[in-house]
Chain A
Amino acid sequence: MTLNFPIVANSQTNGVIKHNNSPALNTQKQVSFGENPKTKIVGDFAESAFTRLGRQKTPFNRAVIGFVAIATQPWIDLFNKDVDEDTRKTACLRTAAKLGIGTATGIAVRKFFIDFVAPKFSVTSDELKNKPHKSYHDWLKPSESIVSTKNFEMMKRTLSKHREVCGTFVAIAAMMLTDPPLTLLTTNFLNKHFKVDKSKTNNSPKIDNSTKGDK
């Protein structure tokens, strides 16, 4: 089947120009950036905001998730109709406390491994600035054969990101060792300070899912 494309170029086609001599039957050309009415140019504030957010690392990502969780999940427990009022209040306080501890731990451990541990075993700050550097262990440094050195800006950017990547994964592995005893300590602390008065409960099941995924 032969597809015939008439030559059309107007605003009604949303900027699509169809050629009847297209080298491949299944490709079309579109008008360029400046003329495409669907393209959005962001303002100065948005540009500044996106640029600043692009410089943030995983501790910031963890902080955002944690703080939004603290702002929302305790309220879910407070208005949970499956349990009585006293349990709701206790569950709300326990959830807030667990999320606070989990978020603080997650941010602190990530920051420690990204800022202090990874630079000792991967690319150093002096290397990123192209200065003479003191050599450490290179366990987490990528091989020279895969690092493109033609574009220094790109190399600096990717090596800096690589330091963050290694720091984050090592932090997650470290938290797998520290989390079980920390969970036990947290649970004992909360059980001691946020007890449910059993005489006021109706023996209905208590659902407590507040700290999952707090790595």
Chain B
Amino acid sequence: MNESSFMKTVVNKAYTNFSQNPGNFLLWSGSIGWVASCISQLVAIANNDKLTGKQKKFLIPQEITDGVVNTLLFAVFTRSFTKIGEKLVHNGKIATKTLADLYKTTKVPHLGNKTIDELIGTEVEVDKNGKKVKQLFHIGDTVNKLDPTEAENGISKKYWPFATGVVFTFSTLGSVISCDAVTPFVRNKIASHQQKKALAKEQALGQNEVKTVSPIAPTQPLQNPYQPKTPLASAYRPNGSMKI
């Protein structure tokens, strides 16, 4: 395959952004999954012969709203939890006993030959009130830049399985809370609100048409030749059940 093709560009971007960042990958794969689910539901609704055009006109905007809300909730919750997991492990807030010992012995040549233990928590950016706003030292980046022999034999083998596990756990927790706790309630509320609006609109439409029905039965001769002929009121009673 030609190295400069569009496909290769996409594959390289996926490698750079997702393969080296598992939290980012779970976030994007889940969000794209929600969008894909919404699109396939829209296609299913559009091609469903059992639904009328009127029902489709209601269902399609509802499905789009649903998809947007679901995707946003998923992205917000998963991103937040992933960030917490990343900060905990890459800023040295949690570690295993083995890692704690390795941090004290592993030296970083490109940062003044200090140990990781000495470098953790250093160079913190603070605001004018002295409150910490950003951690500048990142353990994962430092481990990746270590000498391959040092990394292979020591810290890399211990650090990355633990770091990946922590980030994966927090990402999964965020996506479970979003998909299984928050989203069903929000979806039900929105769907219930939209259905009530639609039912109220249908009922109002039905009442308006009831008012325009002539009180004169169709079999009797019309007194006003310009009064239009209309069927009985019962024919305009709206159907209360909505299939979704």
Contacts and interface: CB of A to CB of B under 8 A. Distances in A.
A10 interface: no
Interface string B86-121: 000000111111101001100000000001111111
B175 A47 contact: no
With a 10 A CB-CB cut-off, give which of B11, B36, B163 has the most chain A CB atoms.
Answer: B11
A55 B94 contact: no
With a 10 A CB-CB cut-off, give which of B32, B37, B104 has the most chain A CB atoms.
Answer: B37
Nearest to B71: A213
Given A33-B117, A139-B7, A209 B191 contact: yes
Contact of B70 (A29, A159, A203, A213): A213
B62 to A, nearest CB: 10
A202 to B, nearest CB: 9
Interface residues of B, number: 98
A28 B124 contact: yes
A38 interface: yes
Contact of B148 (A142, A150, A206): A150
**Which range holds the interface residue count of chain A?**
35 or more
B138 to A, nearest CB: 14
B232 interface: no
Nearest to A62: B33
A53 to B, nearest CB: 4
Interface in A113-143: 137-143
Contacts of A168: 25, 29
Contact of B164 (A54, A154, A209): A54
A41 B96 CA distance: 5
B212 to A, nearest CB: 25
Contact of A50 (B125, B162, B171): B162
A137 B66 CA distance: 39
Given A146-B15, A212-B66, A151 B121 contact: no
Contacts of B121: 15, 29-33, 36
Given A42-B96, A161-B20, A212 B37 contact: yes
Given A33-B100, A165-B25, 13 more contacts: A28-B130, A30-B122, A32-B119, A44-B97, A54-B162, A54-B165, A65-B172, A137-B1, A166-B14, A176-B40, A209-B184, A212-B37, A212-B187
Interface of A: 15, 26-34, 36, 38-42, 44, 46-47, 49-56, 58, 61, 64-65, 68-69, 72-73, 76, 80, 82, 137-143, 146-147, 150-154, 157-159, 161-162, 165-166, 168-169, 172-173, 175-176, 179-180, 183-184, 201, 203-209, 212-215
Interface of B: 1, 3, 7-8, 11-12, 14-16, 18-20, 22, 25-26, 29, 32-34, 36-41, 43-44, 47-48, 66-67, 70, 74, 92-98, 100, 103-104, 115-128, 130, 132, 136, 144, 146, 148, 151-152, 156-157, 160-166, 168-169, 171-172, 175-176, 179-181, 183-185, 187-188, 191-192, 195-196, 199, 240-244
